[in-house]
Amino acid sequence: MSLFKAREWWSTACGTDETFDIGCMLVACIGPEKQKDQRIVVGSHEGFIRVYQPNYDARGDGDDASVENGFRPDDLLLEVQLEHPALQLMAGKLAHSSTDTCLAVLMPFQVTVFTISMAAGAVEHGTHYALNPVYSHRLKRSAFNMFSGFFGGSKNKARTRSELFSIQSLDGTLSFYEQENYSFSRFLPGYLIPGPILYVQKTDSVVTGTSSWTVEAYKYSSLAQGSDPNEKSSGDIGSGKRVYPDWTYNVGEVTLDIQQVTLPSGDVRLAVLAEHSLLILKEAGQPVLFKRLDYHPACLTTFVNDAGRLTTLVASHTSVGHVYEGGTLRWAAQLPFIPVCVGRLRLRQLSGLLALLSPGGQLVVAYLGTTPSLFVAPPVQTAGALDYEALDEELATLTAVIQRSQKQDESGLAAADASREDVQLVVQIHPVLDPCSLPTEVDQQVPCASIRALITPLAPVQSVVLSFDVVSPLVVVKPSAGIESLTTTTDIEAVVYLAQPHAVPSLELETVLSYLTSSGAPRVLRAVTRLPLALVARPADPVKDADHRVTVCTTRPSVNLAQLFSDLKLDAGMSSAAGIEYYTGCTVTILASKTSQRYRLQSDDFHALWLVTEELTRRIGAMYGETADEPICSFVSSLPLQDVFSEVDAHLMWRQRREQQLQQLEQRASQFRAIQRRLLTKYKDMTPSPLTNMDQLLEETYRRLMAQADSLSEEDRRLERSAAQLSCALRLLALLARLSQTLTPEEADLLTAALCWRRVPSQEQGWHETADCAAGYLHRALQQQTGRVAVSGAPLAMPDDTTKLKRHLALLLEKVLKAGARIGDSVNRTDAPADEPVADEDERPPSVHPISQMFTQRLGSARPRSGTRRPVSGASSAQRLHASATGPPVPSGRGPPPTVAVEPPTPQLDRSRPTSADSVDAESRGATAPEPLVPGTQPETAAEQRVKADGAGGDVQHLHLHGLTGAGIEVPRDNLLDEPEEDFW
C-alpha cells in the first residue's frame, strides 16, 4: 500500500466484454497533422481499433473537470472493427508512398499497415478520421509479436528512408519484410517458446528473451546470411551460415518485457523486466544494474528524465507503480488497477502523464500527485487532567474479561459458535437402495444409496461449498457442490456405492459445509451419517465352522437377530443364527446363545468380523439405551492380537514389494531416457551413421517399461486391499479393547487414533512407522508417572520388519488393559520439567515376564467359579458387568483381563477348536476352574505370586500367561465361552 495515489486526469472504457494484453496499447504521434501531441491507439482481441486524443482545453485538474472523468465524445477520433483479433500495434515509417507515421496491426495470420486520414468539416464537430489500408501480408505461420527498425545500419536508412519490420512466429521463425516486399525468414537456434523482442539500431542487432531464461542478441547480418540447422527446401527459408548469438546474458528467470532507451550521450540501455528482478544492460550485453524486486511485476516503461538520467516505471500486481532512477526507488503511487501495459504520454502543455490499460479495457490517463490517500486522524484532545483512578478501574475490568474468555473450555466455545450458526444442515439417506448401474470392479450386482443434503440458511451466506467424504472402497458420485450465494433452502443430491472388491473399514459418511457469513467470516459445519449395512452386505446361510471367532457378552437377554438386522431382510428362521455375506465374498455368521447372554461372530476372514461386530454392538446398545455409565456389551476373552499381527506383516510385505517395483520402474525409465539421448545424438549428427539396432532396443525397453508400470499399478491395488484389511483388523482390536476395559469415550478415541489408520493414496509415510511412533509415545506416557512426555524428532521411515512395532503394541495394550492406566490423564500432563529423563520405550514393564516363563507357566487365580450369573448388589458397574458374564464377583479384585505378552519366535498357529459336548466349559456346568491350556504347568514362581498379590489389592488386573502361538500373543481356546454347539445352534 503506497502513501500516495496516482491522480486520475482522464479515463474511459474501451468497449464492453473485450480483452487486452501487453501489446494492445500504443502511445505515438500518429496521424496526418504535423503535431507534437501524442495519441493513444488501443486494439482489442475482438478486432476493435480505437484512437483517442485526450483534450485538455477548458480542463484543469481532474477534480475541476467539466465532464465526468474528463472524457468527451470528441476525444474518440476513430473506431474501426477488423475481421481478426489485434495482437500488437506498432507505429513507424512503414510505407514508401506516405511520409506520415503509419500504424501496423498484427493479427494471427496477417499483418496490415494503415494510414490515418482526416476530412475537415464546416462545423466544429465535422472533422472525422478514417483508417486506410496501405498493404497487407498473409502469414504462413501463427504470429506472436513484431518489431521494426532500419535493418542493416545507417546505409540502409539513407537508402530506403523508411523502416523495415519483422514478425516472430510461435515456432521461432523471424520473417523480415521491406515494406510491401517479403525479404527472408530465419529460425532461431534452440527455440522453444516465443519471448519479447526488439531491434537495437546502434549495434544492428535483434535482442530477444528465450525460454532458457537468457537474453540473446543476433546480428542482422548473421541472420540475413545464415542458415538453419534443419535446412528445408522451402523457398521462404534462407540458406547460408549457421546462426549463432552475438552475446548471451543469463537472467535466471522468465523475461516478461524488454525495452530500450537512448541516453543523451548516445549510449543505449536495455531494460529487462523478469519475474522477480529488474536488469539494465548495455547494448553489448554487459550488465549495468541488477535490482531484486520484492513484488511480482506486471509491466514497465522506461525513459530519460529532464536531468538526463535513466528512469523506469514498474507496475506491480499489487496495483502499485514504482518509479526508479537508476537503481533507487524515487516514488511509489497506488494505481487504480493492475495494468497490462503502461506508457508515457506527452501533450502540448502537459508532459509526464501515464497511460494505463487494464485487462478489461479501462483506459486511464493519470499523473503522480502528492495528495496522500490515507485518512488523517484528528489530533488527540489533551485538554484537562487524566483520571488515573478511572483508568485503573477500566484496566482491571478489561483484564477480568480477558481472563474469563481465556478460561472458557472448548465446549463452551463450540456452543457459542453453534448459537451463531447461520445455516442448518440436514443429511438424509434414502431407506430403499437402488440397483447400481455405475462402473464398479465388483463381480456381483451391488446397490447404491441416494444421499440428500438439505441446506437451510438462517441468514444470507456466500461461497457455500458442500463436500461428501467416504472411506474407500466406497465412492460418492458428485462428491462436492458449490453455491455462490445462498438465500433459500437448497437440497443437493449424491449417490454412494461400492466400487472396489475389498474390505470396507467404515460406513460413515462425513458431510462438510463451508461458507462465508454476511460479515465475511468463514464457518464450517460437519455432520457424520451412517450408511446402511445393506449397501455392502446381504443375507446368507450361516456357516458352522470358521477359523476366526469373537464372542460378545451382554447384560440383557438375547434378541432376535432377524429383528435386529431388519434392514438386511433376514429369513424369519434366522432368530438365533444368521449369516451375512459381503459383496466381496466374505461371510460372517452370528450365533446367539440359547442359555447365556452372548453372541458369537465367526468367519474365515478375520477382517470381515469388524463391520458386523460394530453393527451388532451398536444396535444392541441403541435397543437397550446403552450409556457410558451402564454399558451393555463387553468382551472378556483375550484380544486376537495374532490375527492383527498377521495383517500387519502382510501389509508391510506389500509395501516392500511396491517399493521394489517402483525402483525397477525408475531403472527402466533411466534406461529408456539413455537410449533416447543416444538416438537423438545420432539423428542430430550431420554425418549419417548406422543406428546399430538402437531403435529396436528403444522399442523393447518401452515395452518393458509399460509392463513394469502395469505391474506397479497392480501392486498399488493389492496394497490398497491390504490397507483396507489392516484398517478393519485394527478397528476391531480397538473395539474389543474398549469393550473389555470399559474405557471412557475420550480414551477410546485416543486409542483408536493411535492404532487405526486411514490410508491416503499420495501418503509417503505408512501405518507402520506412524503407529510405532504413536504406540511408543503412549506407552512412555503410561509408564511415566509425572511430567510431560518428550517426543522423538527422528525422521519416520518404513521399517525392515515388524518386531519392534508388535512389541510396542503389545506393551501398550497391556498397560491400557490394566486397572488404573488412564490414557487421557497420562497424555494430557503438562507439568514436565525441562531436564526430566524420558523412560525407555523398550523397557519391559514389571507385569510382563520373560519369554522362557511364558511357554511353561500360567499365572492366574485358582478360585472356583460358579455358573450363577446374577449381578451382586453394591458392586461397581464393571464388577456387575463381569459378574453377569462369568459368575459371582471376586472379593479381592477384578476378573481376568485380556492377555497380552511380549513377542517370542513365530511357530505355526493351530486354529483347531472343540466341537463336541465334552468340551463344555467348567463355568457352564458349575465345576471348578479348567486345567491350564499348556501341558506340564510348573508351580507358581515368585514373580507370579507378586502379580497375584498386586491383583489382590484391586489395583492391577491379573495377567494370564497361557501357551503362546503365532507371533507370541496368546490366542486362547475361548474357554470361558466354549459352550456346547447345540447352545448356539
Residue 915, amino acid: T
Query: How far, in Å, CA of 674 to CA of 231, rounded?
Result: 27
Secondary structure (DSSP) of 365-423: EEEEEEEE-SPPPPPP---S---HHHHHHHHHHHHHHHHHHHH--HHHHHHHHHHT--E
Reply yes or no on whether the pLDDT at 606 is more than 60. Answer: yes
Contact 330, 368 (CB under 8 A): no
Mean pLDDT for the stretch of residues 765-785: 77
C-alpha cell at 387: 483520571
Q: What share of the chain is helix, strand, coil (3-state, %, to 5)?
A: 25, 30, 45
Instruction: Give the three-state DSSP class for 313.
Output: strand
Residue 623: how many other CB atoms lie within 10 Å: 13
Instruction: Give the three-state DSSP class for 525.
Output: strand
The candidate with the shortest Cα–Cα distance to 288, out of 297, 279, 296, is 279
| DSSP letter assigned to residue 478 | S
Reply yes or no on whether the pLDDT at 373 is more than 80. Answer: no
Average pLDDT, the chain: 76
pLDDT score, position 315: 94
Residue 764, amino acid: E
Mean pLDDT for the stretch of residues 844-867: 33
Reply yes or no on whether the pLDDT at 560 is more than 70. Answer: yes
C-alpha cell at 367: 499523473
Reply yes or no on whether the pLDDT at 171 is more than 50. Answer: yes
Residues in Cβ contact with 977 at an 8 Å cutoff, skipping those fewer than 6 apart: 551, 598, 600, 637, 921
The candidate with the shortest Cα–Cα distance to 651, out of 714, 719, 753, is 719
Residue 166: how many other CB atoms lie within 10 Å: 24
Reply yes or no on whether the pLDDT at 260 is more than 90. Answer: yes
pLDDT score, position 370: 64
Contact 715, 708 (CB under 8 A): no
CA atoms within 13 A on the CB side of 944: 17
pLDDT score, position 787: 57
Reply yes or no on whether the pLDDT at 878 is more than 50. Answer: no
Contact 441, 501 (CB under 8 A): yes
Query: How far, in Å, CA of 984 to CA of 549, rounded?
Result: 13
Reply yes or no on whether the pLDDT at 833 is more than 80. Answer: no
C-alpha cell at 310: 535513466
Which range has highest mean pLDDT (84-88, 418-422, 433-437)? Answer: 84-88
The values of phi and psi at residue 947, to 5°, are -65, -40
Reply yes or no on whether the pLDDT at 925 is more than 50. Answer: no
pLDDT score, position 897: 42
More confident residue, 12 or 952: 12
Reply yes or no on whether the pLDDT at 110 is more than 60. Answer: yes
Query: How far, in Å, CA of 979 to CA of 846, rounded?
Result: 35
What are the start-end ranges of the H helices in 15-98? none
pLDDT tens sequence across 32-81: 766 667 899 999 999 999 999 887 554 544 444 445 567 888 888 899 99
Residues in Cβ contact with 408 at an 8 Å cutoff, skipping those fewer than 6 apart: none
Instruction: Give the three-state DSSP class for 323.
Output: strand
Confidence of residue 567 (pLDDT cuts 50, 70, 90): confident
Helix (H) or strand (E) holding 661: helix 641-684
Mean pLDDT for the stretch of residues 927-935: 36
More confident residue, 838 or 985: 985
Radius of gyration (C-alpha) of the chain in whole angstroms: 42
Reply yes or no on whether the pLDDT at 737 is more than 90. Answer: no
pLDDT score, position 742: 62
Residues in Cβ contact with 159 at an 8 Å cutoff, skipping those fewer than 6 apart: none
Reply yes or no on whether the pLDDT at 157 is more than 80. Answer: no
pLDDT score, position 759: 61
The candidate with the shortest Cα–Cα distance to 742, out of 549, 528, 902, 895, is 895
Confidence of residue 364 (pLDDT cuts 50, 70, 90): very high
More confident residue, 764 or 155: 764
Instruction: Give the three-state DSSP class for 954.
Output: coil
More confident residue, 744 or 9: 9
Reply yes or no on whether the pLDDT at 982 is more than 80. Answer: no
pLDDT score, position 47: 92
Query: How far, in Å, CA of 349 to CA of 762, rounded?
Result: 65
pLDDT score, position 762: 53
pLDDT tens sequence across 230-247: 444 444 454 456 788 999
**Residues found in the chain:** 985
Lowest mean pLDDT among 201-205, 382-386, 969-973: 969-973
pLDDT score, position 216: 95
pLDDT score, position 826: 56
Q: What percent of the chain has pLDDT over 90?
A: 24
More confident residue, 241 or 576: 576
The candidate with the shortest Cα–Cα distance to 586, out of 721, 767, 495, is 721
Mean pLDDT for the stretch of residues 887-897: 38
Mean pLDDT for the stretch of residues 813-831: 59
pTM: 0.49
pLDDT tens sequence across 453-480: 999 888 888 889 999 999 888 999 988 9
Mean pLDDT for the stretch of residues 149-170: 77
Query: How far, in Å, CA of 49 to CA of 39, rounded?
Result: 13
Strands 328-334 and 4-13: parallel
Distances in Å between the Cα of 788 and the Cα atoms of 754, 791, 809, 811, 827 are: 18, 9, 21, 20, 8
C-alpha cell at 311: 528512469
pLDDT score, position 971: 35
Confidence of residue 293 (pLDDT cuts 50, 70, 90): very high
